[in-house]
Every structure is written in C-alpha cells, then in structure tokens.
Amino acid sequence: MGRDMNLHREHGFTLIELLIVVAIVGITAAIAAPELLRARMSGNEASAIATMRAIYSAQSTYASSCAHGGYAQSLEDLAKTSGPGNAAFVSPDIAVNGVTKSGYVVNLGPGTVASVVTAKASTCNAAADDAIASYYAEAHPSIVGSSGQRSFGVSQHGTIFQDTTGATFTSVFAANATPVQ
C-alpha cells in the first residue's frame, strides 16, 4: 500500500449547532425589539417637542418683526420669506400644515382669540392669511403607540402642553392637557 489511507474529518457546524445559534439570535431579537420601539417613540416625542419650540420661536419672531404683533395662521404663512435673500421663519420640513415629521403630524391654527391684528397686506412676507391675535400649534402621533404615545401643543404663551392619550389637540387648553415637565 503506497498511499496512507487517513480519514479526513470534515470541518464545519452540525445542524444542531446551527439551530442553537439561530434560537439564541431569535431570543435576543425578541427581547430587544420592544426596547427599540420605546427608544424610537422617545426620540419621536423629543423631536415633536423641539418642533413645538421651533414654531413658538418662529411665531415670536414673526410677531415682532413682520406682523406688527400678530401671529401667522398656518405653517404656510411662516414658511414664506420676507424678501429675496431672507430666510423663512420655519424650516422647510415643517412648511405646511398636516406635515408628518418624525412620526408626528404637525399643524398650526388660530387660537381662542381669532381676531385679525394685521391684514395680510401689512405683513412683511405677504402671508396668505391675516395676522391673528392668538394661535396654537400641535403635534400628534401618526400612529398612537407606534410612532409616539403623547401629543403636544403650544400657544403664544410659550408653555408646551402634552396629552398622554395621543389625541389631536384642538386647543392647548384641552381637557387632558398638562404642561410638559
């Protein structure tokens, strides 16, 4: 016999070993998935609060520099510039009512005192609507329990309110509204 007849052992994993690894990965994913959803919802809620602050700031600037003490009635009015080379009062990602940003639907509308302060012709950016005496802005989750749990609102007073049910704000003075802590 000129050749050595050594048996060669095959290298690799057995089916049982592969199934055990797949089971461990599956269990880990099942444990981590709810935490990832909670983290995403928390991030979306933080973004919605920041959007309310941005709208409040934009409205304050609009009132003091553009509308003679009045406020814009819609995000579209805040998205208009006051002339060539000037920036809009809000960023393009929230330039229209009903826009979805980070899982939240954002709107701006007249507040409880809806009287006209300044006619649209008197505003610096020729807004589509007249400037008004009060406003409220709101952001509610597009899918309650998935994109977020709480809804948020702000008015010309600057306090950001929340509703833990995720309901759409019709005013910052809604029955379930409490200040954000």
Amino acid at 83: G
Amino acid at 150: R
- pLDDT at residue 172 above 70? no
Q: In the chain, where are the structural domains located?
A: 15-179
| pLDDT tens column, 94-135 | 999 999 999 999 999 998 876 677 777 788 888 888 899 999
The reported pTM is 0.80
Q: In sequence order, which residues have a C-beta less than 8 Å from that of residue 129 and are 6 or more positions away?
A: 72, 73, 74, 77, 120
Instruction: Please say whether the beta carbons of 49 and 148 come within 8 A.
Output: no
Instruction: Please say whether the beta carbons of 82 and 124 come within 8 A.
Output: yes
| pLDDT tens column, 5-25 | 566 667 788 899 999 999 999
DSSP 8-state symbol, 81? -
